[in-house]
Chain A
Amino acid sequence: MSESTNPLADDEETDATDRGGTDARERETDATPEAGPDADDGEPERPDTWTPTTGAESVIAALEGADVTRAFGVQGGAIMPIYDALYHSSITHLTMAHEQGAAHAADAYGVVAGDPGVCLATSGPGATNLVTGIADASMDSDAMLALTGQVPSHMVGSDAFQETDTTGVTKPITKHNYFASDADTVGDTVGEAFALARTGRPGPTLVDLPKDVSLDDTDREPGPAEAPARSTPDPEADTAEVAAAARAIEAAERPLCLFGGGVIKGNATEEARAFAREHGIPVVTTMPGIGSFPEDDDLCLSWAGMHGTGYANMAITHTDCLIAVGTRFDDRLTGGVETFAPEAEVVHVDIDPAEISKNVHADYPVVGDAGTALEQVSAAMGESPDVESWRERCTGWRESFPMDYVVDPDEPVRPQFVVEAFDAATADDAVVTTGVGQHQMWAAQYWTFTQPRTFVSSHGLGTMGYGLPGAIGARVALDERDETDRPVVCFDGDGSFLMTIQELSVAVREHLDITVVVLNNEYIGMVRQWQDAFFEGRHMASEYDWMPEFDTMAEAFGARGFSIESYDEVSDVVEEALSYDGPSVVDARVDPQENVYPMVSSGGANGEFALTEDQL
């Protein structure tokens, strides 16, 4: 790759005439990669006010104009002009080991920061490596912008080197994607894509950037980042809808709030908490909704669904009025819809009208922003429903179905104990990320979440390998906000960790203070659990006869490694790992036979959750 441009805006030689195409000038020799944007010290100089002169600079100007401060990505031929334009940008770029890691890191960054994360990749394999992360963001309605390099426009369609139809591939997994066609407009396109990602129901967007568009000259400055007016929903709900919902809630005898991820994404946590407390209505959350309501509050029954608490699933089964906010009624939440909240009138508050009655019929649709709509509904309610006895029933279920497990010093360490140990040793504002599997469920079940944006996981797509890059993104978001004291703990499975383990190199290189806790059961545990329950215990492709030593491996990366093999090691390791200022990996050898309960079988009734295998 010899193509590059010099984006020095104050360099007079950087003129339109010698720009673009294959005869672009070589970068000046002092601009070594080591001194580049990844270096912590010595921000490259650029005048405060500058005007883009190429498509690539226009892209960066648009990002800066949208207050983007951070990007995650991996270099490559077709994206080089964009990277080159980043060289003098105020945006800090974090080079990841793999594009999937870049996408997950950007996703998690966005979840924690509340602003869309940005990821970059080159064409072809770079772009396809992003795909899992984009799909993940799409399923979880996470705002994210992906920028991908593309072969030059005139070669598109010719099966050129590293050409992939990126907009084609990502069409079904983006909120919208764009194929940039012109250096004059590419900045506006990127701005629009960024704004669209966070507007209304959030989601990932992508702009595919042919190399010639990036290299071409332009004298147009991008305008402010704005989403198309059509895509900007009205936050306020229809007053008739609101009134109808209010009447239904007033009349309810067994009302229940169901807070989904939309409550957190819509920054409606305060309104949601106020609503439930003012009316004394018990709360369950979905998994993405974890943190929307404090789990240590008496009203909170934690989360419902396949591995939700028994009490949440009892409440959701017996409610007569489900006030669902910002949830899409995923099948892992509902089980079989035939038996989902079967006696409930459903009030469904959502910003996306297409979610209304998609999976579960909404008797009272309320289309609007979660916080605004909840306040509207509350204001429209004349009185609170009388729920004293219903609350008592809910409390009763909490006692009849305790989230309990056995701790026996003669047996291997229970994974739940490790989760609780880390929870106890960290403040409420710690951020937890996870991979996918049993460990994810234990983290969700046994960590007591009280704040929004502290549980960062792969919910809808269930992507093994999310945890470590997610922790990197979360850490970066916190550090940027000077919240360096807030710990980031990644609970990972041995299988999940191995899927994106290379990102440990990034954490070491960037000196990121994260703690990876591998709940190592030497199994693809969740699969093993299902095989035991549904495939007569045939452990096909779910057990290993060899596993790396994760603590030693961590040390080889330059991280700190710890291991836990018995209960009496737990508290020391927890303390040491958390107090180490940098990435640490705890290889927690946990009971390989432990299973996740309660469990609602797929398509089963939530109220019939199993507590032991024979109940499945």
Chain B
Amino acid sequence: MSGSDDANASDADPDHPADAPDAESARRPGEDTPNRGMAGARPEERPQPAGRRNSHGVRVDPEVEAAEAERTAAVSALVENEPGVLSRVSGLFSRRQFNIESLTVGPTTVDGHSRITLVVEETDSGIDQAKKQLKKLTPVIAVGELRDDAVRAELVLLKVRGEEPDKVHAITEMYEGQTLDAGPRTITAQITGDQGKIDDAIDAFRQFGIIEIARTGQTALERGDSPTTPGEEPGHSATGADETETETAAEKTGEYDD
């Protein structure tokens, strides 16, 4: 890039811009170059394109632009069960401002592997980002988003007042739950099921006065032969060596290969 202005460039030896300017050869403020700043058409004098992008960087018709809707997605991550993996995952979500509704974690049948199930509420692009960022974490083996028909469950423990044990028992039965503790003052029941069922159950228990509640958050698996994360193989046969091979095969079919 040259600092010279056209009118005076010929005066200066381009090979020696370090030469000190003297009164004659100085690059004086021309008509074009203001003493502070630069010459050129003002912003409003320049042609500006009419196109626009939305806040996600997608080109849109500015007339019909609508905010991208959020949806709820369950994302399953198969991870290496090493210290700190949970904080890596939760740290990632908080740092990147992904809305997370619940997170559950537990070991699988493969030694050293755990499954983390995350329920996120995001736009399509947000969910996509969340999955890709998760996949980048070194201890994360595979990431999959669960389909609508996936099998999902969550568990809640409800501690309610024990004044009406029969009624509490009836509601517990109604939701196919179990009574875990019953005393003169409190009764604790356990309900499992999908989120809707749990929400309904909690509503039904409110009449007794809920003292305490503990919910696990959602865990989920794909239905039938579909692996929950791409390339995931049945837990009993996984070994480090053939893991990668099966990954490619299974990724192609999207199903277990046995």
A residues near B, CB below 8 A?
A: 167-168, 171-172, 175-176, 179, 196, 228-231, 295, 302, 309-310, 314, 317-318, 329, 334, 337-340, 342-344, 352-354, 356-361, 400-409, 416-417, 420-425, 445-446, 448, 566-571, 574, 593-595, 597-598, 605, 607-613, 615
Nearest chain A CB to B57 CB, angstrom units: 4
- Enumerate chain B residues within 8 angstroms of A179, measured Cβ to Cβ: 83-84
Ranked 8 nearest A-B pairs via Cβ: A612-B37, A342-B51, A421-B18, A360-B57, A354-B132, A608-B43, A568-B20, A176-B138
Give the CA-CA distance A170 to B106 in the complex, in Å. 25
Closest Cβ of chain A: how far from B44's Cβ, in Å?
8
| A-B residue pairs in contact (CB < 8 Å), sample of 21 | A168-B87, A229-B244, A230-B141, A309-B1, A318-B47, A338-B54, A340-B53, A343-B49, A343-B51, A404-B38, A407-B3, A407-B26, A422-B18, A424-B17, A424-B18, A566-B20, A570-B20, A574-B18, A607-B49, A608-B48, A612-B38
- Report how many residues on chain B are interfacial, defined by Cβ distance under 8 Å: 63
Question: Which of A314, A339, A406, A566 has the most B CB atoms < 10 Å from its CB?
Answer: A406
Beyond A338-B53, A361-B56, 5 extra complex contacts between A and B, CB < 8 Å: A403-B1, A407-B3, A409-B21, A608-B46, A611-B37
Contact check, A424 vs B15: say whether CB atoms are below 8 A apart. Answer: yes
Q: Let me know if A613 and B53 touch, CB within 8 A.
A: no
| B33 close to chain A: CB less than 8 A | yes
CB-CB under 8 A from B38, the residues of chain A are 310, 401-405, 597-598, 611-612
Among A302, A407, A416, which residue has the most Cβ atoms of chain B within 10 A?
A407
- Are the C-beta atoms of B3 and A401 separated by less than 8 Å? no
Q: Does B185 contact A (CB under 8 A)?
A: no
A610 to B46, CA, bound (A): 11
**Residues of A with C-beta under 8 A to B237:** none
Are B91 and A171 in contact (CB-based, < 8 A)?
yes
Does B10 count as interface, using CB distance less than 8 angstroms? Answer: no
Which residue of B is nearest A357, CB measured? B125
A531 to chain B, nearest CB (A): 15
Query: A597 near B1 (CB under 8 angstroms)?
Result: no
Contact A314 B20 (CB under 8 A): no
Verify if B169 is at the interface (C-beta below 8 Å from A). no
Q: Which residues of B contact A417 (CB under 8 A)?
A: 3, 17
Q: What is the 8 Å Cβ interface bit string for chain B, positions 63-77, against chain A (1 contact, 0 not)?
A: 000000000000000
* Chain A minimum-CB-distance residue to B5: A404
Number of A-B residue pairs having CB atoms within 8 Å of each other in the complex: 187
Q: Does B88 contact A (CB under 8 A)?
A: yes
Known contacts being A338-B52, A342-B59, is A424 close to B16, with CB within 8 Å?
A: yes
- Does B36 count as interface, using CB distance less than 8 angstroms? yes
Q: Chain A residues near B239 (CB, 8 Å)? A: none
Query: Given that A571-B20, A593-B36, A607-B48 are contacting pairs, would A361 and B29 also be in contact in the complex, using a CB cutoff of 8 Å?
Result: no
- B46 touching A607, Cβ below 8 Å: yes
CA distance A402 to B41 in the complex (A): 11
B residues 4-44 with Cβ under 8 Å of A? 4-6, 15-23, 26-29, 32-43
Q: A403-B3, A611-B40 are in contact. Are A337 and B57 (CB under 8 A)?
A: yes
CA distance A574 to B17 in the complex (A): 12
Could you tell me if A354 and B138 are in contact, using CB atoms closer than 8 angstroms?
no
Residue B163 lies at the interface, judged by CB distance under 8 Å to chain A: no
A339 CA to B23 CA in the complex, in Å?
A: 44
Query: In the complex, are the beta carbons of B57 and A571 less than 8 A apart?
Result: no
A595 in complex: contacting residue of B20, B37, B39, CB < 8 Å:
B37
Instruction: Tell me the nearest residue of chain A to B56, going by C-beta.
Output: A361
> Within 8 Å CB of B5, what residues of A?
402, 404
Q: A359 — nearest CB in chain B belongs to which residue?
A: B57
Contacts of A422 in B (CB 8 A): 18
How many angstroms between the C-alpha atoms of A228 and B18 in the bound complex?
52
CA distance A407 to B4 in the complex (A): 9
Q: How far is the CB of A540 from chain B (nearest CB, A)?
A: 22
Residues of A with C-beta under 8 A to B141: 230
Residue of B nearest to A599 (CB): B37
Given contacts A357-B57, A421-B17, A570-B20, contact A339 B52 (CB under 8 A): yes
Is B236 engaged at the interface, CB distance under 8 Å to the other chain? Answer: no
Known contacts A314-B46, A567-B21, A605-B48, A339 near B53 by CB under 8 Å: yes
Contact B33 A357 (CB under 8 A): no
